[in-house]
A and B are shown apart, each in its own frame.
Chain A
Amino acid sequence: MKNVTIAIQRRGKLRAGSQQFLERKGVLPYIDDSVLRSSCEQSGSDILYLRDDDIPEYILRGVADYGIVGENVVYEKSANVTIVQRLGFGLCNLVIAVPNNSGITSVSELDGERIATSYPNILQRYLGKQGVRASIITIQGSVEIAPELNLADAVCDITQTGNTLKEHNLRPLEIILKSEAVLIKNEL
């Protein structure tokens, strides 16, 4: 029988949790995070170690059968994958935040404002539902400094503790997604 291929994050916040989840299922990944691919003979699985953003793509293209990834990534990619199981780790929130000194106190006041984010699709859908039209600026990282550089009036970013927001004098306005790690597979 063909091995089952499972894609997990190579380096990052989900790696340890993904590793433990697989171990509990009898699949033994390599510990060394320089390895990109390994096999676990006793469980009949191949494990791929990827950038988490890329995992849905591997699933969609049928190269991996299962993947472990944050819901935020699944929804951002609008990936046609099936969530098999919620895994209870990698908890985080996708939050809209504004500078402490901003006059903005509600999502509706974001109309016409600039919002920097690495999650333009989730944000666009959320704002669309609220009937708010903002200018979305897509950047890949260091989103929290966008307001102080006058690149944006607000941010939409992932937080776990809220500390990064505080450090950059940002105050949360609204949680638009509560996310955790999920096991996904191809929809078909």
Chain B
Amino acid sequence: MKTIIEPKILKGTRDFLPEEMAKRNYVMSTIKAVFERFGYDTIETPVIEYQETLLGKYGEEGAKLTYAFEDNGKRKIALRYDQTVPTTRVVAKYGNQLPMPFKRYQISRVWRADKPAKGRYREFYQCDVDIIGSDGILADVEIAKVISNVFTKLGLNNFQLRFNSRKLINAILDALDVAKDNQSFVIQRIDKLGKIGLEGVAKELQEVLNKSQIEEIKNILNITGTTAEKLQQLKKYDISEVQQFEKLCREFGVAEENLVFDISIARGLDYYTGIIYEVELPGIDIGSVCGGGRYEDLCGMFTRQEYSGVGVAFGFDRIVLAMEELGLLKQVGLNAQVLVTYFDDEIISSNLEIVNELQAANINTELYIEPAKLGKQFKYANAKNIPLVIVCGSDEIQNDEVTIKNMLTGKQKTVPRKQLATYITGLDI
């Protein structure tokens, strides 16, 4: 007897069926198109790398979460954990051959040996865009404009691009005499403002700061108003970077209502050194949908040469979720725009001719693959959400006509056979 294997998949991994893939592809290609409009190119790195390349780059937590194994030839192998480390390896290895500054985007799958939970997967996509090899502020500004164009193109027009400066945070902590060793701790606590509130942050800061230091940080976190008004209240610190960044962003066309200076954004990671970004979608409770910032000496673990970079990662799954929630993906259908019916072997040649003709006119057209009753073929069209079905039987051929059924309205239209392709093109489906 034949053994049947249960068609199951690992927890934390996902199958995507055609309808969902169509939506994901639409979002992905929209994002890609924006990256490419700014002249970013993409690279690909292996899914499997030497463990020594990947391990030790993500801290203790990361090491635990890296899929690591021995292959059949006893080599120590690890699965791609993120796109940043392989990219820095690429820059270190091919730096001389790459155009500098190196503007690259990358959208690919990464793997984490994590405990799966809601919204946490073992296999998921990362979607990064970076400028490596320039420390100019315009690079930071361009990334902000890329973010703005991505969300606008996706129809998420009320996105909030919150930004801050690590330099400014450090300057404030220096001015408050916070010991260098404690600054990272303080920054990570400030980052939790959204989660635990001002008093929560203040309480946790008691561990390393005195009362007056905490009071001053509370005052700073409490400032409100427009970006200009907030900066006015911080002008005793070095606000020049933030000012210049904001001015250039506005000149580049990032709308004022989308760009918010937020002194509480810290982004926990230690390697940020300048402007940092975080994007939220007001009214949709899924947290940050994009984040990143400026980092210095990114490739330091692979080369002595220093490369400063700036970049962000888009939360691809969250963006898809948000768009679905807002009904922005309803229009995304499967690929076929037209189904040519097939119910009579005698006239198959004219059906094939129609398929050729419509495909040549850039209309995604499929032929029903076996002769069947019309009703069955209409059902198939409905199941695939194909908007138009062509009926061309012997009557139509005799009259040199063809009938097009609109599956949405049920209306049928007969036009001269020679007008078929232009008729459909004119419908602009």
Query: Which residues of A come within 8 Å of B, CB atoms?
Result: 111-114, 124, 133-137, 150-151
* B residues near A136, Cβ cutoff 8 Å: 426, 428
Give Cα A133 to B387, complex, Å: 12
Question: Do B416 and A111 have beta carbons less than 8 Å apart?
Answer: no
Question: Do A137 and B427 have beta carbons less than 8 Å apart?
Answer: no
* A residues near B428, Cβ cutoff 8 Å: 124, 133, 136
Any A CB within 8 A of the CB of B409: yes
Q: Which residue of B lies closest to A109 (CB)?
A: B411
* A residues near B411, Cβ cutoff 8 Å: 111-112
Any A CB within 8 A of the CB of B422: yes
Say how far B413's CB is from chain A's closest CB, in angstroms. Answer: 5
Q: Which residue of A lies closest to B406 (CB)?
A: A112
* B residues near A150, Cβ cutoff 8 Å: 416
Any A CB within 8 A of the CB of B415: yes
Question: Do A135 and B424 have beta carbons less than 8 Å apart?
Answer: yes
Any A CB within 8 A of the CB of B423: yes
Q: List 14 extra interface pairs beyond A112-B404, A112-B411, A135-B424, CB under 8 A.
A: A111-B406, A111-B409, A111-B411, A112-B409, A112-B413, A114-B419, A114-B423, A114-B426, A133-B427, A134-B427, A135-B423, A136-B428, A137-B426, A150-B416
Interface residues on B, range: 10 to 19
* B residues near A151, Cβ cutoff 8 Å: 419
Give Cα A155 to B429, complex, Å: 20
* A residues near B426, Cβ cutoff 8 Å: 114, 134-137
Question: Do A135 and B416 have beta carbons less than 8 Å apart?
Answer: no
Question: Do B406 and A137 have beta carbons less than 8 Å apart?
Answer: no
Would you give 7 A-B contacts (Cβ < 8 Å), ordered by A? A112-B409, A113-B413, A114-B415, A133-B406, A133-B427, A136-B426, A137-B426
Give Cα A135 to B406, complex, Å: 12
* B residues near A137, Cβ cutoff 8 Å: 422, 426
Say how far B362's CB is from chain A's closest CB, in angstroms. Answer: 16
Which residues of B from 385 to 429 have beta carbons under 8 Å from A?
A: 404, 406, 409, 411, 413, 415-416, 419, 422-429
* 9 cross-chain pairs, A with B, having the tightest CB-CB distances, nearest first: A135-B426, A112-B413, A135-B427, A136-B426, A135-B423, A112-B411, A112-B406, A137-B426, A133-B427
Q: Which of A111, A135, A150 has the most CB of B within 10 A?
A: A135
Which residues of B from 175 to 223 have beta carbons under 8 Å from A?
A: none
* A residues near B429, Cβ cutoff 8 Å: 133
Give Cα A124 to B426, complex, Å: 10
Say how far A98's CB is from chain B's closest CB, in angstroms. Answer: 15
Say how far A187's CB is from chain B's closest CB, in angstroms. Answer: 15
Say how far B306's CB is from chain A's closest CB, in angstroms. Answer: 43
Give Cα A113 to B409, complex, Å: 13
